[in-house]
Amino acid sequence: MQSFQQYINGQFEDASAQFESLDPATGQPWALMPEAKACDVNRAVEAAHCAFLAPEWAGMTASARGKLLLRLADLIAENAQVLAELETRDTGKIIRETRAQIAYVAEYYRYYAGLADKIEGAHLPIDKPDMEVWLRREPIGVVAAVVPWNSQLFLSAVKIGPALAAGCTMVLKASEEGPAPMLEFARIFDQAGFPKGVLSIVTGFGADCGSVLTSHPKVAHVAFTGGPETARHIVRNSAENLASTSLELGGKSPFIVFDDADLESAANAQVSGIFAATGQSCVAGSRLLVQNSVKEAFLEMLKAKAEACVIGTPDDMATEIGPLCTKRQRDMAQALIARSLEQGAKLVTGGKAPEGAGYYFPPTILDCSAARDAECVTREFFGPVLSVVGFDTEEEAIALANDTAFGLASGVFTRNLTRAHRMIRQIRAGIVWVNTYRAVSPMAPFGGHGLSGHGREGGLAAALDYTTVKTVWLRTSDDPIPDPFIMR
């Protein structure tokens, strides 16, 4: 089996232990991964702390940091094929998606390369005539980043890019499920020429790796993408070091279709929103809210498109639906569907894992109009399962859309411009897509509220999350400071 190493302080090395990584297409082990323990994590954080203070990084100009990020972007583009193949092998994401996504990941690093020397302070029009006061934006310190297995290269880019542009250093924990692409990324990062310790990449399990990293006293900020339960542990850990946090925690996103929408366009967007990446996306449009006057016609369109999806091995360019990343995800999907059917949901298509090797699961549609509280409607889980609820009025659509503890993404399909604006104002979500879905850009902030977390990734907002404000007072008068005990 292929063997991977961790990357600490500019060195590739074996970890304290190893574990097997399973190929989701076969369910069989294919590689040995480094299992970082507390001692490994501590060394990585100490290296990041030293690098943060060292003149090689701390004294580097913002423009020079940008040039390093630009070099990194070029190297990612050059190595996109290798990275895509590893992500497909280790996570089950189909090759046609990993190739396209990784090519775009390079654009995120290019964006932050250009932003590095544009993180500006401010001059304050202070109310004291003999003072000049200004604000400096300075890097917050050592960042602990934790990313999940789905889209690791993208989800790490929206952390590494802004953090390094701001002048921070970072220790990144790759997911123990499918870490191969991030460990290969470390080799590309090493070639870019950053000073040692600026970025270390490890992988491992909760108590021995993740908890040690997020509670480390020299970590100033924790950037996490994952589920609410793990986020709660991270927030508790941050009580130890009082680190600030940015949390992107997924959602149960409403996909709203009105009867005046272009139904063919909406259907294609819905298929992309829930079945792309085999439903393993934090912005998956997993709750379809469709106006009852077009509900049956729209469901027929979706059913036909779902059943036409090509299920196959993820390394085949013809495949449209690959396996889920883990057996646990597949079993959870199967169990959740069974419970939802017992709660009154009706199966439209799919619903049962095929026989044979691998963690495959078909595109599944459940009509929950008579079971709006079914578990599949309310619970977030990664899988190609769409829950459908009908509505009659715009007011009802808003109420259904906001009937969730999450608040990450949403989609609205309508030709009515004034209605679209009303929906934008009233939907409680960090992202509202109108007549499109899953569009992203390095320039656009990405994030939510409620159980979807806080903070933003992408755009200038992300870079500012990795800075702290220093207020500078400069007295401009040459007169002696008056005696403080003589009141004037």
pLDDT score for 482:
87
Nearest to 413 by CA among 294, 296, 275, 278: 294
Kindly state the greatest CA–CA separation across the chain.
88
In the chain, what are the domain boundaries?
2-250+443-472, 254-428
pLDDT score for 425:
98
pLDDT digits (tens, 9 = 90+) for 337-378: 999 999 999 999 999 999 889 999 999 999 999 999 999 999
Superfamily of structural domain 2-250+443-472: Aldehyde Dehydrogenase; Chain A, domain 1 (3.40.605.10)
**286 phi and psi, to 5 degrees?**
-85, -10
Q: Within 13 A of 441's CA, how many CA atoms are on the CB side?
A: 7
Look up 248 and say whether it is catalytic.
Answer: yes
Q: CB under 8 Å, gap of 24 or more: what pairs does 230-235 form? A: 231/453, 233/206, 234/146, 234/210
Mean pLDDT, the chain, as a whole number?
95
Among 248, 320, 375, 380, the active-site one is 248
Architecture of domain 254-428: 3-Layer(aba) Sandwich (3.40)
pLDDT score for 488:
65
Which whole number is the average pLDDT over 56-63? Answer: 98
Concatenate the DSSP letters of all residues of 252-287 into one string: --EEEE-TTS-HHHHHHHHHHHHHGGGG--TT---E
CA distance 286 to 363: 12
User: Which residues fall within 8 angstroms of residue 7, CB to CB, at 6 or more apart?
Assistant: 13, 183, 186, 187, 189, 190, 199, 200, 201, 202
Please give the share of the chain, as a percent, with pLDDT higher than 90.
Answer: 94
Please give the share of the chain, as a percent, with pLDDT higher than 70.
Answer: 100
pLDDT digits (tens, 9 = 90+) for 189-241: 999 999 999 999 999 998 899 999 999 999 999 999 999 999 999 999 999 99
